[in-house]
Structure 1
Amino acid sequence: MQSLLFDPGVQRIADEVTGPITYEPEVISRELAEKWFNAIRAQADWRSGMRMMYERMVGVPRLHGHYAVEDPAIPPVLLAALSVVKQHVDAPFNSIGLNLYRDEHDSVAPHSDTLHELVAHQPIVLLSLGATRTMTIRRKEPPHLKTELELEAGSLLLMGWNAQLHYDHGIPKLRYPVGPRISVAFRVRSDIQSETWGTR
């Protein structure tokens, strides 16, 4: 199932044909969001990465981490977050990906998730913690309509499996100072041992 189990206050960015993509603010309180942000930032196994750009290796502009839900080393705060998410989204999540945007210079380029790594027709859900960052969501087909969505602390963004076929999404750099943000991504992976982690 890809639909949110709640309706009031849900912002619908894309319909069921090309999505769905839905946004729900204030799923958890600001106080709980801050508590979870601090715990995840302190407890997660953060890693840096490298990528090829313009024929040279450069650092990925954010930190990331990944846990299988059944991993005995998973921080308990992530299981608490999973429990809340499953109250809102009916899906057998088995993977939790993390991205830490340390400041306005960290970002992720427009992209869509790699579908062969995911169980077909299962959703991707992002829980935002920390500073508000803008996500751009752009239709792949002409006229390439774009939405700019402010991802607030304590909010959930749901993207349907098929939305990856029709939309790109990204977090652009900013020209003004902003505090750190953590994105917690819940997925149903077909191979949770894969070292190729999704990025948000």
Structure 2
Amino acid sequence: MRRAPSLLQTALFAPAPRVLAEDAEGGVVYRPAVVDEVTQRRWFQTLREAVRWQAQRRPMYDRVVDVPRLTASFWLDDPKLPDALAEAATAVRAAVGAPFNAVGLNFYRDGRDSVAPHRDKLHMLVPGQPIAVLSLGSPRRMTLRRMERGARVDFVDLEPGSLFVMSHASQFVYEHGIPKTDEPVGPRISCAFRVRPRGEH
């Protein structure tokens, strides 16, 4: 019986990273095939079923609207942390070399689910530490754009098992998002690993 490749073996033969932006803290880098297909699929199935997903509502202009995705979050030292997230955190810490202590999850059920262009809330991040987004499930397109008038929008197709790594410094300069699409897309879970100050979540 053929054994599935280990995470380390997968990393050794992974395609080259794609540098999308550069800065003194590492910029923005897309790293495909960091996690093998069998492992990412197992993590996706486990998290889809085991996590208590929340449907949120937020005020927008003069009304309250549904957030177009399901969400969840954990401190990584939470005794109730799903095993799949503990395994993913170990792999992502090793791949990125950052002391991540929290993870935010987004469950995009289909092409109608999305997140508007945004940057991470800086007061909820430890300065100098990166954000690493692990993609599980189906591919989905992300946008990246400098926050200046007329700036070009870059598109990155986030494959399952990939990492999208953003420096803390990049959050002052770039916005990222997942647009809606009419194309047939399957469900996707994003796991955004961060280093947060204690007391923030």
Q: Could you tell me which residue of structure 2 aligns to residue 74 of structure 1?
A: 81
Q: Which moved more, 1:83-92 or 1:146-155?
A: 83-92
CA contact (8 A) 1:19 1:166 kept: no
1:167 corresponds to 2:185: no
What is the aligned counterpart of 1:140 among 147, 151, 173? 147
Using CA pairs under 8 Å that are at least 6 residues apart, name the structure with larger relative contact order, 1 or 2: 1
Q: Could you tell me which residue of structure 1 aligns to residue 164 of structure 2?
A: 157
d(CA) in 2 for partners of 1:166 and 1:21?
11
d(CA) in 1 for partners of 2:200 and 2:116?
24
**Gap regions ≥5 residues in structure 2:** 1-10
Q: Following TM superposition, by how much is the alpha carbon of 1:54 offset from its aligned partner in structure 2, in angstroms?
A: 3.4
1:106 corresponds to 2:106: no
CA contact (8 A) 2:15 2:32 kept: no
CA contact (8 A) 1:95 1:192 kept: no
d(CA) in 2 for partners of 1:111 and 1:80?
28
1:54 corresponds to 2:55: no
Q: Deviations over 1:112-170 (max 9, x none)?
A: 00111110010000000011110000011244121100000000010000100000000
Q: Following TM superposition, by how much is the alpha carbon of 1:8 offset from its aligned partner in structure 2, in angstroms?
A: 6.3
Q: Could you tell me which residue of structure 2 aligns to residue 86 of structure 1?
A: 93
Runs of 4+ in 1 over 4 A off after TM superposition: 5-8
CA contact (8 A) 2:132 2:193 kept: yes
What amino acid is the match of 1:62? R
Aligned length in residues = 190
Q: Deviations over 1:69-88 (max 9, x none)?
A: 11111101101001111111
Could you say if the C-alpha distance between residues 193 and 45 of structure 1 is closer, same or farther in structure 2, counting changes exceeding 3 Å?
farther
d(CA) in 1 for partners of 2:15 and 2:161?
16
SS at match of 1:185: strand
d(CA) in 1 for partners of 2:52 and 2:15?
36
CA contact (8 A) 1:117 1:191 kept: no
SS at match of 2:164: strand
d(CA) in 1 for partners of 2:61 and 2:196?
31
Q: Deviations over 1:7-30 (max 9, x none)?
A: 960100001258600011111111
What is the aligned counterpart of 1:11 among 1, 18, 39? 18
What is the aligned counterpart of 2:184 among 157, 162, 177? 177
Could you say if the C-alpha distance between residues 146 and 17 of structure 1 is closer, same or farther in structure 2, counting changes exceeding 3 Å?
farther
Q: Deviations over 1:167-200 (max 9, x none)?
A: 0000000012211000001000013543xxxxxx
CA contact (8 A) 2:56 2:66 kept: yes
TM-score, normalized by length of structure 1? Answer: 0.90
d(CA) in 1 for partners of 2:184 and 2:17?
29
**Gap regions ≥5 residues in structure 1:** 195-200
Q: Could you tell me which residue of structure 2 aligns to residue 116 of structure 1?
A: 123
Could you say if the C-alpha distance between residues 30 and 105 of structure 1 is closer, same or farther in structure 2, counting changes exceeding 3 Å?
same
